[in-house]
Amino acid sequence: MTVSPDRKPVVVTDLDEAFAAVRATGLRLTAARRLVLEALLAARAPISAEDIADGLGGRMTQSDIASVYRNLETLGELGLVRHFHAGHGPGRYVLEGFGDREYLACESCGLLESVEPAALETVRDAVRDLSGFEASFSHFPIVGLCARCAKKRARAAR
């Protein structure tokens, strides 16, 4: 079993910064790489590799899914991109530039509720109190029902 090496997030908030960050590492700024960055920046939310390869449903240029995965991995190693698994389905990728966020995944409506990492500190504390287990929600977020769906569920069960 492996654990991803600690990568310091590299915050970029526009394309130029992203491109500069890539160039600064000596990596090449190819068309495929640019497309990935553009899609992530346009999405402003966690999306799948397929979303990117599709060009966000046709709104952008399409690209090869294998290159997308390779670039997501590379950009992840650079600290520009983070990815996580929210329940079933494909992994989600998001630009670190949108701020340090963690997510709560609603398994009913698909909502990815974004919360500040600090807010989850009390949650991590509660887990740690159990047995010293250090919970990490950044790669496998908490899954459940958002407030809306939980209410709906409660109403349905009445």
Nearer to DNA, 35 or 120 (CB): 35
Nearer to its own copies, 17 or 113 (CB): 113
Does position 20 interact with DNA (CB under 7 A)? The reply is: no
Cα–Cα distances in angstroms (integers) from residue 78 to residues 21, 26, 56, in the given order:
9, 11, 23
Nearer to DNA, 27 or 56 (CB): 27
- Residue 14: CB minimum distance to its own copies, A: 29
Subset of residues 128 to 147 that bind its own copies, contact rule: CB under 8 A: 129-137, 139-140, 142-147
What are residue 103's phi and psi, to 5 degrees?
-130, 150
Contact region with its own copies (CB under 8 A), list: 17-25, 56-64, 69-77, 82-90: 82-90
Dihedral sign for Cα 43, 67, 13, 61, please: negative
Does position 48 interact with DNA (CB under 7 A)? The reply is: yes
DSSP 33-46: HHHHHHHHHHH-S-
What are residue 29's phi and psi, to 5 degrees?
-95, 85
Does position 108 interact with its own copies (CB under 8 A)? The reply is: yes
Does position 24 interact with DNA (CB under 7 A)? The reply is: no
How far is Cα 72 from Cα 89, in angstroms, rounded to an integer? 17
Length of the chain equals 158
Two tokens, residue 42: 């346009």
Q: Which of 90, 99, 110, 117 binds its own copies (CB under 8 A)?
A: 110
Contact 79, 8 (CB under 8 A): yes
Site residues (CB under 8 A) for its own copies?
1, 3, 85, 87-88, 104, 106-110, 113, 115, 119-120, 122-123, 125-127, 129-137, 139-140, 142-147, 150-151
